[in-house]
Amino acid sequence: MKNQSLQAFALRTLVALFVAAMVLTVSSPTAHATEAAEIDAAVDEGLERLFAEVPEARELAGKSAGVLLFPKITKAGLVVGGAGGKGALRVDGRTSGYFQSHALSVGYQAGVETFGYALFLIGEEDLKTLEANRGSFDLGTAPSLVIADKGFVRELGTRNIQSGIVAIFFSEQGLMAGAGLQATKIKQISPN
């Protein structure tokens, strides 16, 4: 009887934490801006933070066909977790579309964190792949996705990358270790 009670408590706790994660995601003003101007302003600020933290990312942006930037992703969970936020695709320095990133995960995890990430679409084919799948793009199935740490980005000047998607995380804060994109889905949105 005591074991069943403990299991029920654990299940209620997990459900409550999952709901709290979704509430955090929904209530985040930058991550869930409803106006295109608010998303653009957050992306502008996010690009500046990224370039300040990883100066070599500016050169990578110049070599890329497009940059999809999510300035603030909120992630929370305890065994079951959720993450989400909104961003914009920039092509030739102008916004080409608005997107939402969301993920659901199960595993050893606990805590809350925020972070931003940028996807550098290196070649025209990478940009076309995203544009062709604007309804829903699953990063977990992207064959050419490279999650770059700051050391890798510093070496990019000596590498001749012609295609692929390079992901760079920035402005990580919170109590959850690490960040990943394994089950992340990106969907195009139409803000008000």
Distance between alpha carbon 39 and the CA centroid of its chain, in Å? 14
Consecutive H or E run containing 104: strand 94-121
One digit per residue, the tens of pLDDT, for the chain of length 192 reads: 555 554 554 445 544 445 444 544 444 444 344 679 999 999 999 999 999 999 989 989 999 999 999 999 998 887 778 889 999 999 999 999 999 999 887 776 778 889 999 999 999 998 988 888 876 777 765 557 777 766 676 676 546 677 888 999 999 888 765 455 667 889 999 887
| Tokens coding 159 | 């590498």
Give me the count of residues in the chain: 192
Distance CA 96, CA 66 (A): 9
Read off the DSSP letter of residue 29: T
At which residue do the structure tokens 């936020």 appear?
85
Query: Helical H runs in 28-79?
Result: 36-53, 56-63
What are the sequence ranges of the domains in the chain? Answer: 2-189
**Which of 60, 177, 42 has its CA nearest to residue 116?**
42
Q: What is the pLDDT of residue 110?
A: 75
Q: Measured between alpha carbons, how far is residue 95 from residues 37, 70, 98, 131, 145 in Å?
A: 10, 13, 8, 13, 22
Q: What is the pLDDT of residue 90?
A: 97
| Tokens coding 178 | 């690490």
